Structure 1
Amino acid sequence: MLVRRWKGYAEEAWAATVYLDDAVHGPQEAMKAISDQLARQGLPLNAFTKRLGELRQRQKAAEHGLPAGVGSPGAEAAAHAGLTAAGAALGVPLGVDQLARSAGQLMGQRRERRDGELLNDPVGEVTPVFVKDLTEAARDRSQVVLFFDVYEQTGPGLDRWLRDLVDERYGELPSTVVVVIAGQGKLAPAVWGEMMPHVEEVVLDSFTEDEARDLLSRKGITDEATVTAILDVSDRLPVLVDMLASHRPTGPGEVIDPAESAVERFLRWETDPARRRAILDCALPQEVDADIYRALLDPEAAAGAEAWLAKLPFVTSHGGRYRYHDVVRTQILRLQRNQSANDWTHRHTTLADHHAHQRTTLETSLPDTDGRWANEQWRDHRAAEMYHRLCATPYDNRLAILEDCVHAASASTETLTRWVRLIYRAGHDSNHTTLTERATALGNNSAEADPETALRHILDQPGLSTTTRAHAYRARGRHHRTAGNHEQAVTDLTRAIELNPGDELNHYWRGLAHHAAGNYEQAITDLTRAIELEPDDALNHLWRGLAHHEAGNYEQAITDLTRAIELNPDNASNHHWRGTTHHEAGNYEQAITDLTRAIGLNPDDASNHRWRGT
């Protein structure tokens, strides 16, 4: 409520405001969300948007192993041309080829370092551009205020980056950029210690643990088990701590659940039974919008919901979405669980089915699994669906959520982190310790989930289908390959092939791992099998062409790259690599034609111009 009020005050003072909650799970998502919200207020961060697009292209290329001119034949050829001319002028008869290879490698290494910096520290690369754009945007408004809500959930993934942002590690920010952090706990001293003199802290009405213990001690309650029970069920709300202490419990078994009393206090002003029921039901989802309350409530209650939801003192609204304060929602959820397990399961299942319907509708235009996981709207519905299914029937969905985590690990570290936190939240909200323990094992205690740790845990679990197990090995193999652990990558991908030899992607990724390790003949063998299984996938032909190229089989390489162009004529990389292969083979006119086409498709890629000039 306080955050909402501050946001309103800022907007009245002609400030641009940004509101972020637990829909963001890391710095890249936060910067993208800030950029999107500011753009809607007429303050686009154009340079950052372009840089982020480049980063994502590089990440996608790295995921598929697409080389971006690194140590390429074209680099060596360009160096050869320059050094041949220099050698002729200086009368140097020998060693030009060796010098050309060295110079070509140097050019490639410089490009590789630039790309490596972007991929190894993407946040460090894009944040300075973000800061520069944000500074420009701040000049057009009285202030730019960034609100980070529910920070107890997002803090682990954002803390270090946000501290560095405020500390101006990425560039100087004007004083008109204000950061507001709202959460249940204090800022971590280990991260924010040096910045605390510059932080204005506003403490709300929940007790700290020490304050709650002090009150209980003054009430004569000192038994540790009893104190722990009171702290657990009260969420340290002063009114609840005092109420529980007033009963003078002498053991944890005498500590009553305060949920009913707490909820009664929250709803004491609402006399309409139907409205009270609707308020309780709307607390079940993590956030509510018009589609959700229409699916959850009867038509009469749903028709007026928008009018009264935003007026609730413990609800914040943002862009047509409503979120209950965590303390209030926790008490309502506990009451709902205690009153009727059947109703709890039924209502969560209703919500899960709603999101499943929305998700499957989207899938008509997203037939590919990878495409679905790359689509933000699809991920949102899938995440909400699985949250509600875990709350309703955690045991029945124990394998489905692990399968989701495999897909999430394949998509990105941020997506995996989101899914691990989803599991923890479902366990917390439904009081299922097996779920919170599962989240901890998958890496919930870390700022961001580690794909290798999560996949190792998943592969240790019984009951996984053969397809899911093969997919997990493939996902781990891909992460090994990206990290440069080529031997482990080949081992995992070989296991994936053993489990599911008919999956073209298993052969494709092992082919890329062999290619990265310099095993070109093995790469050709794997990619040939991938082509047999999926002959119309341009990437299979592109990569076999590149493997042939590295092996010196230029004619076969040109054949494969030509097929890649036939299948995907608008991909600049296909024309670029056939052009450089023609160059290597001495077919300069064909090389110029291909590189001219690559320039037409991607005029901002300097390598296309450089190799055509060569």
Structure 2
Amino acid sequence: MRRRTRAGLVARSTERELFRGNFDTSPGDGRHRFLFHVHGTAGVGKTRLVKEFEHLARERGALTAYVDETSGSVPEVLEAVCRQFALQGHRLKDLERTLATHRERRHEAETAALAALDPAPDGAPSAGGMALARAGLAGLGLVPGVAPFTAVLDPEQLAHGADRLRTVLAARFRSHEDVRLVLDPASVLTPVLADELDAVASDVPWTVLLLDTYERTGPFLDAWLHDLLTTDRYGALPDTVVVVTAGQHPADPARWGTFADFMTSLPLQPFTEAEARGLLAERGVTAEPVVAEALRLTGGLPVLLSTIAGTRPAGPEDVTDPSATAVERFLKWEQDPGRRLAALAGALPRLLDVDVFAVAADCDRDRAEELYAWVETLPFADRIGGRLRYHDIVRAPMLRLQRGRSPRGWTDGHTRLARAFRRWREHTESGRDTGTLWLDETWCELRLGELYHRLCADDPAAVADTLQDVVEACDRGEAVAARWIRMLEDAGRDVFVPGVSTWGDRLSTALASGGTRAVVDTLLEWAGHASPSGPLRPEADSWGGERRRRRTTGPRQNGGSAHPVRGRDAAASRPAHDAPLPTVTIPPPLLARIHRDRALAHAARDDRAAAVTELGHALTVAPDDPRTLALRGEYLRAVGLPAEAATDLERATALDPADAYAWASLGAVRLALGHPEDARTALDEALALDPDYGWALVRR
């Protein structure tokens, strides 16, 4: 089976021989290369060639590890390396222990961050203090992706918050090394990796690291890999280490240009006609009409050539039907209708395992196991970390066929998958703190799968829920936000709904150009609520539950049918060459939340007037939200407008009589207006709800 699979690489003999020959030269030989970079368009066979490189390396006794986009950070890459080396009999025990410590310390740091907020007189964090503390986290680099928030703070504030939190974390952890392990994990983990590889070098002749889908992993791996290979920042690697990277783009010349004598670039192109004919002949396909049709259909892309060659068409009559779709051509020679349907069903999810496939194919477990085993043999089903993923060039026409042939079946299939992912996701959440879920890779994958299939099924609430998640993801860093936006892009492309597709494309562009701040600014711009001076740092609500609101100089903060974003209005503030944005719905709770978080950022720099303005925007889309009213009332009180503050706070307490924050702030406002008895009544209400409310006790 392996020989037959590898036969598909018959046309890549030059690349294979070049890589194999590298093991015949010593590291000191000027011809030896330490880095190979494979690059080319999707479908050209990069992953298959990288897998072949891994096979060739193992033939030479090399210890190998293969990593793709399922690893989203340097620590995750190192965890994958540890797992694969262990399976080959070489455990990196020191690195495994350090990685385990990293996970523990990261969780402790996030807990400490919440406890490190600037206390009010009663020990509760103030709104400005909380914002400043989170700015300090950003200044330390502990919370990635909060540039939207920190941009509103001046450097002196940021440095002050960072220094204060650095002191807190240093006191919390047992050593300075623990602090570094949280704030800059690569600087601690990578020297351990270098030492481990040096130790392994005495047992194996070569160590080969293969980093696939580099167009996705490169943004966080490329600088790290450059330092690892070309500097002594992390210590010296043994000279028997060889690295292979593979992605759609050439190596960055600014970073790797001076390393040209030590690396080899391997650009892959679609097969030439001669190479394509060679592959077909290797598979026994030699009849000229069949070969000509295969060449016409595939454009020389190896994945398509392998698909057609694997079916071994008997004669020209099998390939001459001009009206047949690409999907029908891929599966034309598979006579079992059950298998044909299974192949199509397997295209619905982005990633397949047996559990997902059973839902997609709507069959029992035994039948799913049988069909899945066959799907694994299909040449366009790439194995990704133990699961399967159809190649895009094959999957796309399969999706189009199903969507056009049976719209109801399309909707039913995606709805069934969405419900399954939701069920699995809820099971994962059971009994857990919602604040930790975003750190759980399993939960993230299940949530992404649920939203993707809801979008494909045209669930009316799917776009709004996805955008809510995007805002929350921005709070977790650019890497997390990129996954949610990429899912939105995938759904837009696969279901071909212009609104979904446009959201994905525009948010992806925003993330690439300006990070998470640009993403949320784009959301507000399209909603007609652009605020040039007000950056965002999302917090408070998450899709899975509301974080506890903390008391500000009064009590606490946090924000709540649908607000349409019209392309005509949004286009007025975009360049004329941009495509118009179709009407898309953003729910008022999401818009209100963004504005509330902007208000908190303004308050952090003591600009409560700007915070009041931002909260006014929030109340425009959610006029009866008691949380927003309470927060604006408190800020109005702080800027010396007690009469206006009283109006907001009276409404807030009427809408939510159980909000101790609003009652306490109302008490302070009534006192400022010269009504001490009324003030005491309001403070009594606050303390009846929260007897240990120190801020209210002091004022009463």
TM-score class normalised by the smaller sequence: 0.5 to 0.7
Partner of 1:42: 91
Give yes or no for the alignment of 1:135 onto 2:186: no
Q: Secondary structure at the match of 1:201?
A: strand
**Cα pair 1:356 1:385 within 8 Å, conserved:** yes
Distance 1:453 1:367, change over 3 A: same
1:343-366 deviations in whole A, cap 9, x for unaligned? 333322222221111112223323
**Cα pair 1:156 1:447 within 8 Å, conserved:** no
Give yes or no for the alignment of 1:19 onto 2:66: yes
**Cα pair 2:105 2:181 within 8 Å, conserved:** no
1:576-609 deviations in whole A, cap 9, x for unaligned? xxxxxxxxxxxxxxxxxxxxxxxxxxxxxxxxxx
Distance 1:377 1:163, change over 3 A: same
Partner of 1:290: 354
Distance 2:75 2:627 in 1: 32
Distance 2:606 2:270 in 1: 48
Query: Aligned letter for 1:382?
Result: R
**Cα pair 1:51 1:126 within 8 Å, conserved:** yes
Q: Secondary structure at the match of 1:423?
A: helix
* Shift, 1:418, TM fit: 1.2
Distance 1:34 1:410 in 2: 28
Distance 2:401 2:606 in 1: 50
1:113-169 deviations in whole A, cap 9, x for unaligned? 997999999998322222212113323543444333333344445444444444337
Query: Aligned letter for 2:482?
Result: T
Partner of 2:590: 468
Partner of 1:341: 407
Distance 1:397 1:64, change over 3 A: farther
Query: Aligned letter for 1:350?
Result: R
Partner of 1:389: 454
Q: Counterparts in 2 of 1:244-283, with a 5 A limit? A: 262-263=326-327, 266-267=330-331, 270-283=334-347
- Which of 251, 254, 258 is the aligned partner of 1:194? 258
Distance 1:414 1:37 in 2: 24
Q: Secondary structure at the match of 1:178?
A: strand
1:91-119 deviations in whole A, cap 9, x for unaligned? xxxxxxxxxxxxxx99x959849979999
Query: Aligned letter for 2:193?
Result: L
Which structure is higher in helix share?
1
- Which of 35, 49, 57 is the aligned partner of 1:2? 49
Distance 1:337 1:159, change over 3 A: farther
Give yes or no for the alignment of 1:182 onto 2:241: no
CA RMSD of aligned residues (A): 5.1
**Cα pair 1:352 1:388 within 8 Å, conserved:** yes
* Shift, 1:383, TM fit: 0.5
- Which of 440, 443, 456 is the aligned partner of 1:378? 443
**Cα pair 2:214 2:248 within 8 Å, conserved:** yes
* Shift, 1:22, TM fit: 2.9
Distance 1:109 1:471, change over 3 A: closer
**Cα pair 2:215 2:248 within 8 Å, conserved:** yes
More moved, 304-313 vs 281-290 = 304-313
* Shift, 1:292, TM fit: 0.4
**Cα pair 2:102 2:181 within 8 Å, conserved:** no
Distance 1:58 1:395, change over 3 A: same
Partner of 1:540: none
* Shift, 1:304, TM fit: 0.8
Distance 1:159 1:183 in 2: 12
Q: Secondary structure at the match of 1:139?
A: helix
**Cα pair 1:351 1:385 within 8 Å, conserved:** yes
TM-score w.r.t. length of structure 2: 0.52
Distance 1:356 1:267, change over 3 A: same
Structure 1 alignment gaps of length 5 or more: 69-104, 209-232, 242-256, 515-525, 536-563, 567-614
Structure 2 alignment gaps of length 5 or more: 1-47, 120-158, 171-175, 273-296, 306-320, 528-563, 565-584, 639-648, 661-689, 693-700
Distance 1:120 1:496 in 2: 40
Distance 1:322 1:404 in 2: 26
Distance 1:506 1:34 in 2: 51
Partner of 1:211: none
1:421-450 deviations in whole A, cap 9, x for unaligned? 111122233334433321233244644872
**Cα pair 2:214 2:246 within 8 Å, conserved:** yes
Distance 1:493 1:15 in 2: 60
- Which of 137, 142, 148 is the aligned partner of 2:211? 148
Distance 1:24 1:60, change over 3 A: farther
**Cα pair 1:473 1:496 within 8 Å, conserved:** yes
Partner of 2:482: 417
Distance 1:239 1:15, change over 3 A: closer
* Shift, 1:387, TM fit: 1.5
TM-score w.r.t. length of structure 1: 0.59
**Cα pair 2:116 2:165 within 8 Å, conserved:** no
Q: Secondary structure at the match of 1:200?
A: strand
